[in-house]
Chain A
Amino acid sequence: EDQVTQSPEALRLQEGESSSLNCSYTVSGLRGLFWYRQDPGKGPEFLFTLYSAGEEKEKERLKATLTKKESFLHITAPKPEDSPTYLCAVGSNFGNEKLTFGTGTRLTIIP
């Protein structure tokens, strides 16, 4: 069974204080690893897809990296608007189109 574990559950940072969020996964044939952000009361908003170990993607203050067992979302010099919950999910190659999600990391950026 595919599993995704995200850590920490919650993180408080000062504005401008960089950090990393962790997503550990087990999956039967990785089709892709997905990062989403979710603001309170809204649906998840797509950020990145990573397909293979060693791959990296960047968007503004966010950078996602992937190894064979985990992914990191690096947040550089965050601003208060970077304070949603970050969700990690994996898709499997084996005949099932669903995504398996972690429970997320709630990020709070303090001005």
Chain B
Amino acid sequence: GAGVSQSPSNKVTEKGKDVELRCDPISGHTALYWYRQRLGQGLEFLIYFQGNSAPDKSGLPSDRFSAERTGESVSTLTIQRTQQEDSAVYLCASSFIAEAETQYFGPGTRLLVL
């Protein structure tokens, strides 16, 4: 079946604008994860969902970041009042259940804040 998909693939925005990033997980995967990858750095955990609930929001860097998931499927990561330091690749992953070992990643959304 299809892998994890993300949209848009690239996003350029102006400082202060809001952006929404979308993730479609692999069908049947109940767990969904968001990570951020800054240039030259490792992947940084942001948030994960088990079903539609988010047991762990500890990685969200500020209250400008929020995420939701509906129908145990699509997830949206919203960044309000974007700052230049938000520029990064935002990666989404999914797994069959949260305790499963393997997270499968999408291609990412490259966000550039000018």
Contacts and interface: CB of A to CB of B under 8 A. Distances in A.
Contacts of A32: 101
Given A43-B107, A44-B91, A97-B31, A91 B45 contact: no
Contacts of A98: 33, 45, 48, 56, 59
Interface of A: 4, 31-32, 34, 36, 41-46, 49, 51, 87, 89, 91, 96-104
Contacts of B99: 97
A97 B98 contact: yes
Interface residues of B, number: 28
Contacts of A4: 42
Interface in B34-84: 35, 40-45, 48, 50, 55-56, 58-59
5 contacts: A41-B107, A46-B103, A96-B58, A98-B45, A98-B59
A101 B98 contact: no
Contact of B107 (A42, A51, A103): A42
A42 B89 CA distance: 10
State the main secondary structure of chain A at its contact with B: strand
B111 interface: no
Contacts of A44: 43, 91, 105
Contact of A87 (B42, B98, B106): B42
Tell me which of B43, B59, B98, B107 has the highest count of chain A C-beta atoms within 10 A of its own C-beta. B43
B45 A100 contact: yes
Contacts of A103: 40-42
Q: Which of A32, A44, A87, A104 has the most CB of B within 10 A?
A: A44
Contacts of B33: 97-99
Nearest to A50: B101
A91 to B, nearest CB: 7
A97 B100 CA distance: 9
